[in-house]
């Protein structure tokens, strides 16, 4: 006798269930629509700015050190960078601080504050950032680091289910 038959027994035919329905081909699942730049421009107001005040010190660590760590992806900036915008006042005037992983790196420049006042009551997200500069000049002097940040504010009346939207800052 065959060893498989001995172990598993005889193969029995499967009886068809009279109530079984024939398999129907299902329609393919709808593919999500790709988001285009036109969609983004219709939904968000985009503001890009150079961070001001990046050469000042923050107590024990200078802002230049923070930007160098981000540029070189050194700890605590070796995994990800969380950029937060916080409204404040400086010498009694409206200002917006730029924070990276809970460290102040600078401010939204004065020439952009009117835009932030206008759009700050809307949900937003930080779309992009770039740290540039550093190194040494031809004469051997150190070059400062700088930073740009791109923020997208939800347009008035627009809707979005993007989970990363921050609540309005104002």
Strand partners, 155: none
* Phi-psi label, residue 54: left if phi above 0, alpha if psi -120 to 50, beta otherwise: alpha
The ranges assigned to domains in the chain are 45-154
DSSP per position, 24-66: -PPPPPPPPPPP-HHHHHHHEEEEEEEPB-TTSEETTEEHHHH
| Other CB atoms within 10 Å distance of the CB of residue 30 | 6
Q: What does each of the 170 residues of the chain score in pLDDT, given as a tens digit? A: 555 555 556 656 555 555 656 666 777 777 777 777 787 777 899 999 999 998 888 877 899 999 999 999 999 998 889 999 999 999 999 999 999 999 999 999 999 999 999 999 999 999 999 999 998 999 999 999 999 999 999 999 888 877 778 889 88
Helix (H, G, I), strand (E, B) or coil at 120: coil
């Amino acid at each position: 006798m065959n060893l498989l038959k001995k172990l598993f027994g005889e193969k029995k035919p499967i009886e068809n269930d009279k109530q079984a329905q024939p398999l129907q081909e299902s329609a393919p699942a709808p593919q999500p629509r790709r988001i285009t730049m036109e969609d983004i421009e219709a939904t968000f107001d985009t503001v890009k700015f150079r961070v001001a005040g990046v050469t000042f010190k923050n107590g024990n660590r200078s802002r230049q050190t923070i930007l160098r760590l981000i540029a070189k992806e050194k700890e605590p900036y070796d995994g990800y960078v969380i950029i937060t915008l916080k409204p404040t006042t400086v010498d009694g005037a409206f200002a917006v601080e730029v924070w990276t992983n809970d460290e102040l790196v600078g401010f939204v420049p004065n020439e952009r504050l009117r835009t932030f006042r206008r759009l700050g009551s809307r949900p937003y997200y930080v779309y992009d950032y770039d740290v540039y500069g550093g190194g040494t000049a031809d004469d051997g002097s150190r070059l400062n680091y700088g930073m740009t940040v791109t923020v997208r504010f939800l347009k008035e009346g627009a809707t979005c289910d993007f989970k990363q939207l921050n609540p309005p800052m104002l």
